[in-house]
Structure 1
């Protein structure tokens, strides 16, 4: 039965969500190994959570910080705030280090730790509804909503510098971005396993796309359970996919895989196609949502074929004069659509990343002859390793903190077919032990930055190539390494 939704929810996340709930109340919104949450049950959870939030003093304009690893709780809190006109931000180390967002309330779920600095309210069993009301009753009982243009969620991104920056999405922007993904999230057909961490920016993008298009989220990383739950789409960064699947070949193959955050190599695509019928290599950013995608599959001869996926808006490769370049010419990537942000939070000065409605991503790329976008790397000091962005300047600083190392330059291994790893050139001081300095540098990076940001190799050099501004010239470092490798016959 279809229920009429009044104009109180025009063009809002709340209206769309209630429309879905009214039209398919018994359809599963979440499937996990403990059971199923229907759309009607999810609506009741949102109302119950909303009531508890109101008791805490949350109102329109309030900012609520949430720390959780639980996907249903992450979604329910966001939807409850959408009905209230309040705003969500993820409570994490980035939030603790910024002044851009100042939460009024802090929530957490039982499986995560709180903080000594702030008081967290814990979401527990008492937040559950005492009765399950019909969706029509929920619709009738909610007050008028007029905050579709209000901020709904604060998200952070590395931007184009590697330094965390916050931006805000309005209720309408969340809705538009979600509906723009309706081809991937087909009503009542798509069952998605989201490998991105609950509460992260990529998670919210896909979870809201699933629910606002009437699909099902399979809340599990267990591939055996994926088969039982009928998963049709898996999404994640390459390192997350490898972390959950490893070297296994999944048989029978799942229908679709979306890989985001990195440019896949041909060998990686071939390997993934052993477990998935279609593999989409998606390109996008928090500032713009998904902007481009290549979809790979095997043809009848078992050769890999590629077609361009559908994305809203425009994507261009331009020169320094902002003119689109022809195929084969390297340039900068810029994106424009109807739901891009236009600035970062708290940044009143002009930002070169945003100009005339375009977002300049900081990536370099080239259009191939067959109209594919081939990403070549970052313009700046951010290095993308399998979807993880590493600040090369920070790695340099840690290496240079070692006694005996006067200068360092970190860059991505440029050798064809090389792993996603870092290489570091180091300039050593006089009368130092090379092996000892290298071991200390590796230890410091592992201790302070983790394995992902620790260079695989440290190469002593006499001097580092520098730009006109006397900054490390990372592309020149990569060229030097390639030239040396060719001399030695290593490539």
Structure 2
């Protein structure tokens, strides 16, 4: 196993790119880790770098998933290339890529794989944080190329570009496609992007599917998505990982008969599109009524003045759990308005009992909301 430490520099990303290329050709499996992550030493230990790697493994993506315990997702060269090839087919053909998300996550690493399969070299947005002017500068060499120009972002990055309304937004408009992943794309953000002339492609996927496997609601070529009896989305196809590092029991629970059972609820629409309804564990049982946190978030996000929202359930001595909401506002919005609108749309049980405001939502990973941190804000005992 070859461990590549990423420190935000172009040199480290170049080392990873070279290591992944060698692994795709049958060389040593690669484990990318962020040197800025305080948990990385523990993750490395959990990945047991001195223990032989499982067969057919090209890349190991370390992820905490929903449990917080380190997991190593095992991806083969076949899964990585199948994902990259299907992505190009959906977007409009092989092209030039800008890497604008951390490369130790699957979304960033796949940008390197896609560029290499396209016979190009990904441009890099390096450094800590995300600034629209730096995005514009990093995008310039990609946008100077002929042929399709792509990048991949998370919703929070796109919001910053739209808010800035400067060189970064102008650069975003010039891309032929921006894959938007890691977190759900709200209807409001989709509308804002469309009105601004930014061509986004919302993607659903995870490390276990070698990045996005459903683009704008439609599975990629070769990918099948079906809900089981519990509405849990199950995925099959050549993009699947073949298990978890040194975890045969977990592998057996999640990967069966060519299918991967996700932690997300969803359904198939009449036109074949996949609608993701939220995580299976985001259902809040309050007073015997089951409330979907994702449904409440969708309603609250549509209220004027709400930029972003996270809804969770916290322990309550009377109701078992109670619905609470952490809101990021970009205009005047009252707590009572949020409660009343939710009550009218979804019923009294779904109306948040408590609403608090924050400048931004806590995040973990590339754009993923840290729901545990939100819960701890309302109930420190859940930390």
Specify if TM > 0.5: yes
**What is the match of residue 209 of structure 1?**
114
Distance 2:369 2:203 in 1: 25
Q: 1:341 aligns with which of 226, 237, 241?
A: 241
Q: CA RMSD in A?
A: 4.1
User: Secondary structure of the equivalent of 1:267?
Assistant: helix
Q: Check the 8 A contact 1:424/1:459 in 2, yes or no.
A: no
Evaluate the alpha carbon distance shift between residue 458 and residue 216 of structure 1 in structure 2; reply closer, same or farther with a 3 A threshold. Answer: closer
Unpaired stretches in structure 2, ≥5 consecutive residues: 126-133, 285-292, 302-307, 318-353
The alignment status of 1:356 with 2:261, answered yes or no, reads no
The alignment status of 1:169 with 2:75, answered yes or no, reads yes
Q: 1:312 aligns with which of 203, 218, 222?
A: 222
* 1:459 Cα offset (Å): 6.6
Cα-to-partner distance string for 1:33-76 (whole Å, 9 max, x where unaligned): xxxxxxxxxxxxxxxxxxxxxxxxxxxxx433423323323212
Evaluate the alpha carbon distance shift between residue 427 and residue 216 of structure 1 in structure 2; reply closer, same or farther with a 3 A threshold. Answer: same
Q: Check the 8 A contact 1:166/1:345 in 2, yes or no.
A: yes
User: Secondary structure of the equivalent of 1:375?
Assistant: strand
**What is the match of residue 279 of structure 2?**
378
Distance 2:258 2:79 in 1: 15
**What is the match of residue 38 of structure 1?**
none
**What is the match of residue 97 of structure 1?**
42
Evaluate the alpha carbon distance shift between residue 204 and residue 426 of structure 1 in structure 2; reply closer, same or farther with a 3 A threshold. Answer: same
* 1:208 Cα offset (Å): 0.6
User: Secondary structure of the equivalent of 2:116?
Assistant: helix
**What is the match of residue 289 of structure 2?**
none
* 1:81 Cα offset (Å): 5.1
* 1:372 Cα offset (Å): 2.5
* 1:367 Cα offset (Å): 2.5
Distance 2:67 2:257 in 1: 20
Q: Check the 8 A contact 1:154/1:167 in 2, yes or no.
A: yes
Q: Check the 8 A contact 2:4/2:16 in 1, yes or no.
A: no
TM-score after normalising by structure 2: 0.64
**What is the match of residue 420 of structure 1?**
309
Q: 1:332 aligns with which of 217, 222, 232?
A: 232
TM-score after normalising by structure 1: 0.51
Evaluate the alpha carbon distance shift between residue 224 and residue 87 of structure 1 in structure 2; reply closer, same or farther with a 3 A threshold. Answer: closer
Distance 1:368 1:65 in 2: 42
Distance 2:262 2:242 in 1: 12
Distance 2:233 2:17 in 1: 32
Unpaired stretches in structure 1, ≥5 consecutive residues: 1-61, 105-146, 296-307, 321-330, 384-391, 393-410, 429-437, 461-471, 473-491
**What is the match of residue 62 of structure 2?**
156
